[in-house]
Amino acid sequence: MKNQRILLIIGGGIAAYKALELIRRAQDRGYEVTVVMTKAAAQFVTPLSVSTLAKGKLYANLFDPHEEMDVGHIRLSRQADIVVVAPATADLMAKMSHGLADDLASATLLANDRPVLIAPGMNPKMWDHPATRRNRAQLVEDGVHFIGPMSGEMAEANEAGTGRMAEPAMILDAIDGLLGPLRHGPLSGKHVLITAGPTHEPIDPVRYIANRSSGKQGYAIAAAAHAAGADVTLVSGPVQLGAPDGVRLVTVETARQMKHAVVEALPADIAILCAAVADWRTTQEADKKQKKDGSGKPPILELTENPDILLYVSREAEPRPELVIGFAAETDHLIEHATAKRQRKGCDWLVANDVSQEGVMGGDTNAVHLIRDQGIDAWPKADKQAVADRLVEEIIQHFQ
């Protein structure tokens, strides 16, 4: 899967801190991000945090022999599908409009032949200054795309007007828009239905049965499928995660609501059911909070089985998704239990995760086996997003 690449140039303005979120969200949407920071930008946000988020792809110095040897300012922009300047300061805009090239950021912009999107962020007086107005007009004439700036409160006390940098999500929508015609992706035209997170099964108005699922794995798969061009519906139980960009999110609480949402979202080409659906719910939800009655005898909860959504999608849904993938969280006899589960549920692939390992349930990493007709693959323990990317990669290959 080839990701689209953004070269992000961070200028030295107070909005530079938002560039961190921009990098994260761009990665969530499946973009690869390489960063150039100006010297001034390093006064507002540390190169270490930028480099960590950008996985080391940070360049700062035009005259650094290592950096030039590694990539060079000419190749930097040539390797990108789009160059984004955020925040674009008055100074950077002036350099761009005059073709100055005395640092890596401006030299890269001058050597660039890719589309350029700038997100200006500066004091309103600077934005309004005749010099900036001239530069703006010149940049528009040169074919540079603008997003923002926005009006409203500025970082400086008692300053209002136009000059606030656009929010990262808006900048990303603009990038999507500009690269839209290129955004096909190997899963374009496919509807991918994903379940994620736990379910909550009420006992009474204040208590419920739940589990430790964080939803991270399912959300990461949704982001990866979207990045591969799929049309994604994510049916999610209660979690502490934001909706991945570009994904249709349906939130539910109980297993029965989840099943209903899944039925509503079908048909799908691919179903990936990774929700940790509660197996049981109480036979009767009390309509009032249960109280201790002083007898010392706790109430007995009578449980009944929840609908099995995976079983339904695999064996009953009409039309059945071409590829149904189930998950199995096991604490012991992983392969044996998971293989039996695959048979019982009737899914095509089963991703077995070893939740006895520390940090898997609710954590950021996962250790999985992929069980299919053609055999069992053990994947090394990895970040949940890396597991998601690899699973989506396997799906792409399956459909080729």
Interface with ligand C5P by CB under 6 A: which range of 61-69, 114-122, 123-131, 274-282? Answer: 274-282
C-alpha to C-alpha distance for 234 and 228, rounded to whole angstroms: 15
Q: List Cα–Cα distances, 265 to 221, 270, 396, in angstroms.
A: 17, 12, 22
Which member of 326, 349, 367, 385 binds ligand C5P (CB under 6 A)? 326
Exactly one of 123, 135, 211, 306 is catalytic; name it: 211
277 binds ligand C5P (CB under 6 A): yes
Interface with ligand C5P by CB under 6 A: which range of 51-59, 205-213, 237-245, 323-331? Answer: 323-331
Whether 123 is catalytic is no
- CA 46 distance to own-chain centroid: 23
Which member of 328, 370, 387, 396 binds ligand C5P (CB under 6 A)? 328
Residue 178 CB, shortest distance to ligand C5P, in Å, is: 37
Element (H, E) at 174: helix 168-179
The sign one gets for the Cα dihedral 184, 190, 191, 193 is negative
In sequence order, the 6+-apart residues with CB closer than 8 A to the CB of 43 are 12
Residue 283 CB, shortest distance to ligand C5P, in Å, is: 16
C-alpha to C-alpha distance for 378 and 368, rounded to whole angstroms: 6
C-alpha to C-alpha distance for 131 and 135, rounded to whole angstroms: 6
Q: Which residue, 228 or 352, is less far from ligand C5P as judged by CB?
A: 352
- Answer for the pair 319, 336: CB distance below 8 angstroms, yes or no: no
Residues 190-219 that bind ligand C5P (CB under 6 A): 195
DSSP state of 209: E
Taking the CA of residue 321 as centre, how many other CA atoms within 13 Å lie in the half-sphere pointing to its CB?
31
Residue 18 CB, shortest distance to ligand C5P, in Å, is: 36
Residue 351 CB, shortest distance to ligand C5P, in Å, is: 8
Which member of 327, 369, 391, 396 binds ligand C5P (CB under 6 A)? 327
Interface with ligand C5P by CB under 6 A: which range of 11-19, 40-48, 245-253, 267-275? Answer: 267-275
Residue 157 CB, shortest distance to ligand C5P, in Å, is: 52
Element (H, E) at 382: strand 382-383
- Answer for the pair 41, 11: CB distance below 8 angstroms, yes or no: yes
For the beta carbon of residue 181, count every other beta carbon within 10 angstroms.
7
In sequence order, the 6+-apart residues with CB closer than 8 A to the CB of 174 are 117, 145, 147, 166
Q: Which residue, 156 or 377, is less far from ligand C5P as judged by CB?
A: 377
Interface with ligand C5P by CB under 6 A: which range of 68-76, 229-237, 272-280, 392-400? Answer: 272-280
132 binds ligand C5P (CB under 6 A): no
306 binds ligand C5P (CB under 6 A): yes
> How many residues bind ligand C5P, per CB under 6 A?
15
| CA angle at 256 for the pair 343 and 329, rounded to the nearest 5° | 40
Which member of 309, 360, 368, 391 binds ligand C5P (CB under 6 A)? 309
Helices 216-227 & 384-399 angle (0-180, nearest 10):
50
Phi, psi of 37 (to 5 degrees): -110, 140
Residue nearest to ligand C5P according to CB distances in the complex:
309
338 binds ligand C5P (CB under 6 A): no
From residue 240 to residue 259, the character string flagging contacts with ligand C5P as x (rule: CB under 6 A) and all else as - is ---------------x----
- Interaction site with ligand C5P (CB under 6 A): 195, 255, 273-275, 277, 306-310, 326-328, 341
Catalytic site positions: 211
